[in-house]
Structure 1
C-alpha cells in the first residue's frame, strides 16, 4: 500500500477532538500516531470512554490525580498504568471537565519499523508489535512521561495525523475488551479484517 510522505501528513486540529468520544473514536481509524523519532503507525482499533455516563471509564466518579488529564483540554494524551504491567494511551475528547477519551487499542506500523521492532525485541510477528493497548504504547515509546502531551502541537514529540486515508465506511463495532461494567456498550471499533486488530468476537453494524 502506498503511503503519503510524512511531510505531507496533517496533524489533527483541536476541533477534531472536541466531540463525544463515540463520534471521535471511529473517525480515528486509519489516522496515524506519530513520534518525532520516525515511528508511525496506522490506528486500526479504538474504544470510547465517556466520563460520568460510562461506568467503565476511569473518570466515571470524577477527577483524581490519576485521571486529571482526562478532564483537561481535548487533544491531549492521557496515559495510565494498567494491571501493574503496561501503559495505555488515550486521546482526550469533549470539553474541559467532561472526562472523555478514546483508547488507542491497536495500530499497524507504517514508518520506523526498525525502531518499533527494537522496542518490542521479543516479538516474532510484526502483526503482534502494536496489537493491544500495552503493546501499542511500548512499540511507540509511550510512558507516563507523555501524560498530558498536546497531540495538536506535537508536544513531547507525539501527535496524531492524517495522510488522506479515510476511516472505513463500515467499521466493525462491538463491546469493549477487559471491562466488567457497561459491557453492553458497543463502543469498540476496528478496521474490518485487519491483521493488527487485538480483539476478536465483534460484530458488524
Structure 2
C-alpha cells in the first residue's frame, strides 16, 4: 500500500496517473472454492477518484479503486528498483495468465454512495440486455492484509476490464483490429 501511495504522489506531482503495478498475492473465494494467485499486479485505478489513501501511521485511511493485472511481469527496469528476472518460458506463461478468462480486473468502491449498492450493477445488466457491449460486474467483499493486519474494506464491485480480451469475447473476428479509445478525465476538467 505504501508503494501505491508513493506512486500516486510522484505521478500526481506532474498531473499524471501511475501506470506502475505493485506485487500482491490475491485470494478469491467463490462459492467456497479458493483461488490463489501469487504476484498479481495491483495499482490505483480511476480518473477523478484518485487521492491520498495511505500513510505509515494510520495505514489505509481512505478507499480507492484498484486495478488487478494477472499477467504483470514486474520486469521493466524503468519502473522497478529490483526488476524480476524470468526465463523465456516462465515469462510467456505469466504473460498469458488469466483469472476467469480475464487478464485484468477492476475493483471499484461505491463512490456514488448508492445506499442500495445496486444502481451500477443494474445499469450494466440493462446495457447487456439491450445488446450494448458492457463488462460483467458482481459485488465482492474486499479484504486487505498488509503489515500483518487484516482490514475489511467492505463491498466493492468487481468489473471485467474493457480491453482486447473483452472485445475478442464479444465481437466477430472481422470487427477486431481497430483502435480502442478511452476518455481520460482530470479533476474538474472533463474529457482530455
TM-score by length of 1: 0.28
Choose between structure 1 and 2: higher strand proportion: 2
RCO higher in structure (CA 8 A, sep ≥6): 1
Which structure is larger by alpha-carbon Rg, 1 or 2?
2
